[in-house]
Structure formats: C-alpha cells, structure tokens
Copies of this chain bind each other. A is one copy, B any other.
C-alpha cells in the first residue's frame, strides 16, 4: 500500500476525481488516500495561496499527490495554486504525452504520438513581476544552468526509458541569446551523452508551426516553461482534445499528477465531465509508483472504452461514437473492461 495525497478541487474536480478513484480501486491499485482541501474554498477563507500549511505537511509526507483542477477566484492578489505547488515542491519537469486515438476520437493528425517535456519552475513563471512606473510593467524571464541541465537530462532519460527515438529542443535563441541561448547550449552539451537518441533543435516559431501542421514529425520535445504551456495545449488539442491529456509534475522528492485542463465551473455538478485527463494523470502516477501492471490494466481498459465508442459529451461525435455517457457511467464502462 502506498499512501498518496488527493485533492478533489473545484468545478468538475470532485466528479472526475471520484470517477478516477473508483477506476483505480477496481483495478487493484495499492493506494491509501489522504484527502486535502485546496482551491476556491481555501482562497475565499482568506488564504491567498489556496492551500493550508497542514495540507503542505501531508503532501510532503506522502510525496505523491493526485490533484483535480481548481478554480482561482477572480480579482488580484490570488496566486496560482498550480504554480505555487510546482515551485514549493521543486517539480521541475512537466510531462505531457499527446497521442491521437484515431479513428476512435476525431483528429486531423492520425499518426501523432509525442511527449512534451516542459521545464516547470523557471522562465516567466518565476513570478518576478512588478510595476516600474504608472505606465510600465515588467516581468523577469529567468533561466539557470542547473534548471536547464535537470530538465534536459530528464527529457533524454525519459526518452530512453520509454523507448522513444528522438528529442527535439525548442527555443527562441535567435532573439534571447542569453536565456534561451543557455537552454539550447545545455541541450547541445548533454545530447552526446545519449548517442542512442537522435536530437535536433528548432526555433520555437517555426517549430510550433511544424508541430501544428505535422505533429507526427516529433517524438519527445523539450522546451522552456512558457512555450511548453502553450504548445502542450496545442498538441493535446490537435491530437483529439485537451480533455484527454494528463500530466506528471516531477521533482527530486515529490511528484504531482493532474489533468491538463481546468475546472470548467459551468459543467460542474451535472455528471457531464470527461474524467480521462485526470485518469491519464493517475496512470502516470501508477507508473511512477512502480505499479506498472495496474497502470497497464487501467490504460488498456480506458483505451477499450474509447475504442468501443463510449464517449462523454466533449468527445461524442455522430458516426464515430456509439454511446454518449456521463462521468460516472464512463467510469463504470472503464471498470467493466478492466
């Protein structure tokens, strides 16, 4: 049994988390759950970070954290909980696999199967922003050598572990010669240590264009934080839907797993939401915990469900899908196929 921390979050969070936990339990995952509260209620109770210090203790003790999407209240002052968690726990690597499920989920890119490895602590996300004058705002983009080395090594090691062939690096180092230049240089320094893997670099503008047009040309792509934020949404969406993608946030000590989409408050409480993104995050968590057999069993059952055309409203398409189901029925369909 491994003890993990779970947060059900806001909006559609509780529904998709309940669905996900039901599937994990039915599959025989060896998990004990400590539930914590994060997000809207915590913010509105006056904690600007959206998370209490008791919750931090639990997260740190358990080391593995499965988190549903949360809602940050409108208005100034509230900090993004996602960014806070990544920073406080040193979760330097954000892994986002994007694979088309053609012909079962509609996509214009049937052959695509790539993983975005996003640096997760630095760049414009360092959170150093200020008002210089009445009319001028500044934000600091920060790139460090240790930060680059960690993420680039992670990307190569990941590619080797999951039998990928090629790593691509995206930067804008023709303009940002020092910051993005450092990222690119570290990539070039580390690549020769992995002679079994191909490597290449693209300027991010034309790289992004190629990704949007011909995603099957890529395998693993490593990049600074903000590009990774934007381009992982692009890749997930053109593969099928941002609603199908999960993500792993990995640090030296701790790890956090989540869906890449948000809390979709307008869909909440209606048993409509697709739990697939969070379930994909949970499968990455099982692999991380070494429960690889259960992970494979859940992944197969999920694939079978999708292939059988059992789809929530967001994926349902006349002519492709067989059956439109709600969140809990989708979970039951996966469980039936375990």
- Residues of A participating in the B interface, judged by any CB pair closer than 8 Å: 72, 76, 80, 83, 108, 124-125, 129-131, 134-146, 172, 174-179, 181-182, 204-206, 208-210, 212-213, 226-227, 229-234, 236-238, 242
A136-B139 Cα distance, complex, nearest whole Å: 16
Complex CA–CA separation, A80 to B233 (angstroms): 30
A204 / chain B contacts, CB cutoff of 8 Å:
230
Selected contact of A206 from candidates B172, B175, B242, CB within 8 Å: B242
CB contacts (< 8 Å) of A139 on chain B: these are 140-141, 143, 176, 178-179
Please state if A137 and B129 are interface contacts (CB–CB under 8 Å). no
Instruction: For the complex, give the distance between the alpha carbons of A324 and B176 in Å.
Output: 39
Residues of B within 8 A of A236 (CB): 209
Q: How far is A235 from B176 in the complex, measured between Cα atoms in Å? A: 23
Chain B contacts for A176, CB-based, 8 A:
124, 129, 139
Expressed in whole angstroms, the Cα–Cα distance for A210 and B242 within the complex equals 10
Q: How many Å lie between the Cα of A226 and that of B171 in the bound state?
A: 12
Of B135, B145, B175, B213, the residue contacting A146 (CB under 8 A) is B135
Residues of B within 8 A of A172 (CB): 124, 226, 229
How many Å lie between the Cα of A145 and that of B131 in the bound state?
11
Q: Which residues of chain B have C-beta atoms less than 8 A from A210's C-beta?
A: 237
Minimum C-beta distance from A169 to chain B (A) = 15
Return 13 A-B CB contacts under 8 Å, by A number: A108-B108, A124-B175, A129-B178, A136-B144, A138-B179, A139-B176, A139-B178, A139-B179, A140-B140, A141-B141, A205-B232, A209-B236, A209-B242
By a CB distance below 8 angstroms, the chain B residues around A146 are: 135
Report Cα–Cα, A219/B114, bound state, in Å: 30
Q: How far is the CA of A131 from the CA of B135 in the complex (A)?
A: 26
Chain B residues with CB under 8 A of A72: 174
**B138-A177 in contact (CB<8A):** no
Give chain B residues whose Cβ lies under 8 Å from the Cβ of A213: 237-238
Indicate whether A141 sits within 8 Å of B144 (C-beta atoms), given known contacts A129-B177, A175-B80, A209-B233: no
